[in-house]
Structure 1
Amino acid sequence: MINKLEEVLKESLGVFHIPVIKAIEIFLIFIIAAILIKLGRYLIKKFFEKQKKFKYKLDDKRLDTMCTLLISLFKYAVYIAAVIVSLSDILDLKAVLAAAGVGGVAIGLGAQSLIKDTISGFFILLEDQFAVGDLITIDNMTGTVERMELRVTRLKNSTGDLYIIPNGEIKRVINHTRDNKMAIVDVPVAYSSNISKVNEIVQKVCDEVKEEFTIFTEDPKVLGITELADNNINLRIVAKTLPNEQWAVERRIRMKLKESFEENRLEFYDRSTILKND
C-alpha cells in the first residue's frame, strides 16, 4: 500500500514526493504509538484491579500509585521508541545518532531533568511518602493526589485547581492522610452562664454526635476550660477520627451546639460587655 502511494505521489509531485512519504510514515508511527499506549493503559489498569481483589495485597492507594506510575513509564517508553525509530530508520539519522552517542543525545534533549524527576518519583514510591488519594501539602500547595506520573505529581485542591509539580522539585511533604486526626472545637461561653449547665449540654452534644458517626477512634469529650477571654470563657471539645474526617465532625458539633444553646437560652458571649466595649 505504501509502495502504491509512493508511486502516485511520485507521479504527481516529482522529487518532492520523498518528504511527503517520510511525513506520512512518521505520522503512522505515532498513530501506532498512541494505540499501543491506550492498549497498555487498559491492560495495566486491569492488572492492578485484579490485584485489589486478592486476599493478601498492598494498600489500594499504593496500588493506584503504582498503576499511574507504570502507565506513565510505559507512555514515555513508547513515545521515546517512536522518536528513535523516526530519526534512525525513516530520516536516516543512524550515523548522526552513532556519532553523537546516546549520552550526548540524552543531554541534548534535556534528559537530565527527566532522569532527576523519574528517580525522585521512584524514591517517593519506595519510601511511601504519599499515594494516590492522599491529601498532602507540598511547599504552600495543598491538594489531593490525583495522579503520580513518571515525571510529575498532580494535585487537585478543594476549589478544583490542578497543581502539576515535577517530582524532582518535591523537597518537603506534609501528608494529612496518615494516622488518625484530632477534631477540636472551641466553644465560647458567656461569663453569666451557669457553667455546670453548659458542661452538661456540651457533653450531651458530644454523646449525640458520637452516635451519628462511625469514624471515631476516640469519642468526643469536653476537655474543659482552656481560656478566660475578655468577653467569654472558652470550653474545648476534642475527639480523634479517621484521616480527613475531622472537619465533618467539627462542623456537626458546631451546628448542634448552636441549636442546643438556642433551646436552652444560653449565650456564647456576654452581650452587655460587647455593647460596652463598642
Structure 2
Amino acid sequence: GFGAQSLVKDYFTGFVMLIENQIRVGDVVEVAGKVGAVEELTLRYVRLRDYEGAVHYVPNGAILTVTNRSRLFAFAVMDIGVAYKEDIERVSQVMKETATAFRSEPDWADKILDDLEIAGVDQWADSAVVIKCRLKTMAQEQWAVRRAFLGRLKTAFDRAGIEIPYPHRTVYTLPAQENADAEKS
C-alpha cells in the first residue's frame, strides 16, 4: 500500500543520492527546507544537525532538491549598508583595501580564494545605500570569513569616518496644554 510506496521512494532516492555522490557525511546541505551538517546518510533518510544543534531526520523521499554548500568553494555574500551621504567610490575603495589586508593575514590567507568582488549598489533601502559584495572562500569557511571581514570592515569604516546608518525615529511631544486639548477631542 501507501506505506510501502513511501518506503520504496525513500530507498530509491537514497540510492541515487549515494551513487551520484550528491552529499556526504560532514557536508553542509539544504534538503526539504532544512539546513545543517550531514551526520548520517542512509538509504532511508538523511540526519542533519542545524546551527542551533537541533537534529532533523529527513526521509529521502521528501528530498526534491539538494543544495550542497560544501563542494570546492563557497561565497561569503554581504550586503553593506552605508549612509546616503557617503561617496560610493570611496566606500568601495575602503572595502577593497580592508579585504586585501584581511586576505593577507596568515590565519585567513588559505581560506579566502580571491579578491573581494563588489557588485555595486544593490538597493536604496530606507536608511542606507546597500552595496553587495562577496569573497570566494574554501567550502564551509564562508560563514567565519563573513563574520571576520564584517568586523574588520566596521573598524575600517569607523577610521575612515564612513557612516553605517540605522533607522531613526523622531518623536514629537506636545506641550502640556496642547496635550490636554488633544485628549479632549
- Conservation of the 8 A alpha-carbon contact between 2:32 and 2:62: no
Deviations, residues 38-92 of structure 1 (Å, cap 9, x unaligned): xxxxxxxxxxxxxxxxxxxxxxxxxxxxxxxxxxxxxxxxxxxxxxxxxxxxxxx
Q: Which has the higher contact order (CA 8 A, sep 6+)?
A: 2
Matched residue SS, 1:227: strand
Q: Which runs of no fewer than 5 residues in structure 2 stay unpaired?
A: 173-185
Conserved 8 A contact 2:32-2:58:
no
The TM-score normalised by the length of structure 2 is 0.73
Describe the shift of the 1:209–1:166 C-alpha distance in structure 2 as closer, same or farther (beyond 3 A): same
2:38 to 145, 150, 160: 145
Aligned length: 168
Select the structure that is richer in helix. 1
What code does the residue aligned with 2:138 have? L
Task: Give 1:189 deviation, angstroms.
Answer: 1.9
4+ runs deviating over 6 angstroms? none
| TM-score, normalised relative to structure 1 | 0.51
On the 8 A contact 2:13/2:43 being kept in 1, the answer is: no
Q: Work out the CA distance in 2 between the residues paired with 1:230 and 1:158.
A: 30
Q: 1:234 aligns with which of 123, 126, 130?
A: 130
One-letter code of the match for 2:26? G
Q: CA deviation at 1:187?
A: 1.9
- CA-atom RMSD, angstroms? 3.0
Question: Structure 2: which amino acid aligns with 1:243?
Answer: A
Q: Unaligned stretches of 5+ in structure 1?
A: 1-106
1:121 to 4, 14, 22: 14
Contact 1:210 1:220 in 2 (8 A): no
Alignment of 1:105-120 (within 5 A): 116-120=9-13
* 2:83 is aligned with 1:190: yes
Deviations 1:175-217 (A, max 9, x none): 2223422222222222333444433322211112211321233
What secondary structure does 2:71 align onto? Answer: coil
- 1:11-48: CA deviations, max 9, x gaps? xxxxxxxxxxxxxxxxxxxxxxxxxxxxxxxxxxxxxx
Q: Give 2:144's aligned amino acid.
A: A
1:203 aligns to 2:96 (yes or no): yes
Change (3 A) 1:171 1:190: closer
Q: Does 1:170 align with 2:56?
A: no
